[in-house]
Amino acid sequence: MNGVSMEAGLLLAAILFILGLFGVLIRRNIIFMLISVEIMLNAAGLAFIVAGMRWAQPDGQIMFIFILTMAAAEVSVGLALILQLYHQLKTLDSDAASRMRG
């Protein structure tokens, strides 16, 4: 368990987070945006795990379980929304769903 240093773990988390972030920013397909959000969530979870390991505390893992449940809920709601959106707009392009402007 000591093979991975904290820095490497956090670096991985940061890379994952930035990948996810760019995914959200760049992709127009809503499914991919959702996946990118999941990646960001997992990055945050990974950071918690690494931090928990560093301090030898269980809190990090508890937080990860929180994040996991939340992510699951989010995906279910998100997918339902996407389904509805697709029904209404016949496309998965997020820019098409811009009717809620000011």
User: 52: which residues sit within 8 A by CB, 6+ positions away?
Assistant: 58, 59, 60, 61, 63, 64
Query: Which of 12, 24, 49, 75 touches other proteins (CB under 8 A)?
Result: 24
Q: Which CB, 58 or 102, lies closer to other proteins?
A: 102
Q: Where are the alpha helices (DSSP H) in 1-102?
A: 6-26, 30-55, 59-89
Query: Which of 1, 3, 25, 87 touches other proteins (CB under 8 A)?
Result: 25
CB of 79 to other proteins, least distance (A): 16
Query: Which of 4, 8, 28, 77 touches other proteins (CB under 8 A)?
Result: 28
Nearest to 37 by CA among 4, 5, 82: 82
**Contact positions toward other proteins, by CB under 8 A?**
21, 24-25, 28, 33, 94-95, 97-102
